[in-house]
Structure 1
Amino acid sequence: MMRLNLLLLLGVLLSALYLVNVQYQSRRLYSELDRAKSQALKLAAENERLQVEKRAQATSARVESLARSKLQMRAATPAVTSYVSYAGATSMPDRPASADGGRQP
């Protein structure tokens, strides 16, 4: 009987130690989960802020003002448009197109 009591006492002590260990691990994992959730919320807010900033940076008015100020670009109008013609195209206008795409051997 004494042996059975010692065995049961040892079983209770081992299960108590195991229970303490499991509770400790559970609390540790819960705190890690809480930290991860708060980090995810911070990252989501940062992502939203960056998306808003990206949309603000990509507006057509901002792009146009940067093109005018930094690149010294101007809008294309008929007054500043130059048309360039290819001189080789006018020298042989009656030449038929060949089957190989106009390439010569």
Structure 2
Amino acid sequence: MTRLNLVLLLGVILSAMYLVQVQYQSRRLYAEIEKAQGESRRLEIEHERLEAEKRAQATPLRVERMAKDQLQMRQATPAITQYVTTAAAPRKAQP
């Protein structure tokens, strides 16, 4: 009878230790999930901010202003437009 009690006591102690270990791992994994979700939210916010910044940088007025100021470009007018023509290739005689 005492052997059975010792075996049962040992089983209860081992299962209690296993339960404590599983709860610890569960809490650690839950904390990692919370951390990953927070990082995901931060990255989503950063992505939205960068998308808005990209849209703001690509407005036609800003592009035109930069072309004039930094690249010294100007509007094409008929007075400064040069047309290029190519000489027509000689045609072969049809048989």
Instruction: Pick one of 75, 93, 96 that aligns with 2:91.
Output: 96
- 2:15 is aligned to 15
Q: Which runs of 5+ in 2 are unaligned?
A: none
Cα displacement string for residues 18-52 of structure 1 (whole angstroms, at most 9, x for unaligned residues): 00000000000001111111111111000000000
1:29 lines up with 2:24 in the alignment: no
- 2:78 is aligned to 78
Alpha-carbon offset, residue 84 of structure 1:
2.8
CA distance in 2, matches of 1:16, 1:84: 89
CA RMSD of aligned residues (A): 1.6
Alpha-carbon offset, residue 85 of structure 1:
3.0
- 1:47 is aligned to 47
Identity of aligned residues (%): 59
Alpha-carbon offset, residue 79 of structure 1:
1.2
Structure 2 length normalisation: TM-score?
A: 0.91
- 1:65 is aligned to 65
1:15 maps to amino acid: S
Moved over 6 A (4+): none
2:91 maps to amino acid: P
Structure 1 length normalisation: TM-score?
A: 0.82
Alpha-carbon offset, residue 97 of structure 1:
4.5
Number of matched pairs: 93
